[in-house]
Chain A
Amino acid sequence: MKTRIVIAAVGAFAAFGLAGCGEKSQVAEYKQGKYQGKPDTKPWDSNPATEPYVHSTWTPGDRSSWENALKQRALNQNEYLRTNTGG
Chain B
Amino acid sequence: MARMKFLCDAERCIECNGCVTACKNENEVPWGVNRRRVVTLNDGVPGERSISVACMHCSDAPCMAVCPVDCFYKTEDGVVLHDKDLCIGCGYCFYACPFGAPQFPQAGAFGLRGKMDKCTFCAGGPEKDGSVEEFTKYGSNRLAMGKLPACAEMCSTKALLAGDGDVVADIYRTRVLTRGKGSEVWGWGTAYGAPGGAGGGQPGGAAPAPAQKPQPTKS
Listed in ascending order, the chain A residues whose CB lies under 8 Å from chain B are 30, 32-43, 45-46, 48, 51, 53-58, 63, 66-67, 69-71, 73-75, 77-80, 87
With a 10 A CB-CB cut-off, give which of A39, A40, A45 has the most chain B CB atoms: A40
Which chain B residues (157-191) contact chain A, with CB distance < 8 Å? 158, 161-164, 167-168, 170-171, 174-175, 177-178
Q: Which residues of A contact B76 (CB under 8 A)?
A: 42, 63
Q: Is the CB of A71 within 8 A of B146?
A: no
Which chain B residues (138-167) contact chain A, with CB distance < 8 Å? 141, 143-148, 152-153, 158, 161-164, 167
- With A56-B146, A79-B158 already in contact, the answer to whether A43 and B167 are too (CB < 8 A) is no
Interface size on B, residues (CB 8 A): 47
Q: Is the CB of A80 within 8 A of B83?
A: no
A–B complex contacts, Cβ < 8 Å, 6 sampled: A32-B65, A43-B75, A45-B129, A55-B146, A77-B171, A78-B174
Q: Which residues of A contact B141 (CB under 8 A)?
A: 43
Q: Which residues of B contact A79 (CB under 8 A)?
A: 158
Q: Which residues of B contact A56 (CB under 8 A)?
A: 145-147
Q: Is B69 an interface residue (CB 8 A)?
A: yes
In the bound complex, what is the Cα–Cα distance between A80 and B73 (angstroms)?
36
In the bound complex, what is the Cα–Cα distance between A75 and B64 (angstroms)?
31
Among all A-B residue pairs, the 5 with the closest Cβ atoms: A37-B83, A56-B146, A74-B163, A33-B70, A35-B73
Set A40, A55, A63, A77: member contacting B161, Cβ < 8 A: A77
Q: Is B205 an interface residue (CB 8 A)?
A: no
In the bound complex, what is the Cα–Cα distance between A54 and B143 (angstroms)?
11
Q: Which residues of B contact A51 (CB under 8 A)?
A: 130, 144-146
Set A30, A35, A46, A48: member contacting B72, Cβ < 8 A: A35
Q: Which residues of A contact B170 (CB under 8 A)?
A: 78
Q: Which residues of B contact A38 (CB under 8 A)?
A: 83, 85, 126-127
Set A36, A53, A73: member contacting B163, Cβ < 8 A: A73
Q: Is the CB of A58 within 8 A of B146?
A: yes
Q: Is B93 an interface residue (CB 8 A)?
A: no
Q: Which residues of B contact A45 (CB under 8 A)?
A: 129
Q: Is the CB of A70 within 8 A of B145?
A: no
Q: Is the CB of B145 within 8 A of A54?
A: yes
